[in-house]
Amino acid sequence: GNSVTQMEGPVTLSEEAFLTINCTYTATGYPSLFWYVQYPGEGLQLLLKATKADDKGSNKGFEATYRKETTSFHLEKGSVQVSDSAVYFCALSNFGNEKLTFGTGTRLTIIP
Amino acid sequence: GAGVSQSPSNKVTEKGKDVELRCDPISGHTALYWYRQRLGQGLEFLIYFQGNSAPDKSGLPSDRFSAERTGESVSTLTIQRTQQEDSAVYLCASSLAIAGGENEQFFGPGTRLTVL
């Protein structure tokens, strides 16, 4: 079956630091890959996605590249801000099967 | 426009009682999903509706859990004879379901269920 493994948290960084949150997956076929974010007091929202190998998803300065050879979809940002403090979830879904399979989430705290 | 809404936002119940959780999806979204998140764990898929039908119920953990959707709109998740291990945040999401596996799912704020 499908599974997603992501970096254990919590992660604490200083403002303007470089961020990487690792995500690897196991899936049949060619899944679509997602990063969702949950800001404090808010619901889950899509941050970025990639639907095929070598695609790069990007949004709000965050990027992730779909690496089929390493079954990974690591989230990166070059310079984090305090407003990026949130819980980040890596997820996948298979074509024709709408449900999302999530990782356990990584809590990120950025200190000024 | 309005997003996905869920009610109640918090529910505390005694072990053995039945509970109903409600989800109002975004208008026009034909697909609706229920997930749950237990403390320290990721989100677990429970059930998926396309219209009023549920083609995938594979995540329902036991026969105490059931869900229905009416009018291709509101959905209710019912948990009978609640147990302490049912304590979790129950999340609902909806999507347009245009193409398989690529649709953005829009999530509600969740219902936090605590079973004493």
**Interface membership of A105 toward B (CB under 8 Å):** yes
How would residue B24 be classed by pLDDT, with cut points 50, 70 and 90? Answer: very high
Q: How far apart are the C-alpha atoms of B101 and A99, rounded to whole Å?
A: 8
pLDDT on residue A94: 81
- Judged by DSSP in three states, B85 sits in helix
User: Which of B3, B93, B101 comes nearest A97 by C-beta?
Assistant: B101
Tens-place pLDDT, residues B31-51: 999 999 998 788 999 999 999
User: In which band, very low, low, confident or very high, does the pLDDT at A42 lie, cut at 50, 70 and 90?
Assistant: confident
Q: How many Å apart are CA B31 and CA A26, to the nearest integer? A: 25
pLDDT at position B103: 73
Residue A97, pLDDT above cutoff 80: no
How far is A71 from A73, CA to CA, in rounded Å? 7
For residue B26, pLDDT over 80 is answered with yes
**Which pLDDT does position B40 carry in this prediction?**
76
Chains A and B form CB pairs within 8 A to the count of 70
For chain B, the average pLDDT equals: 91
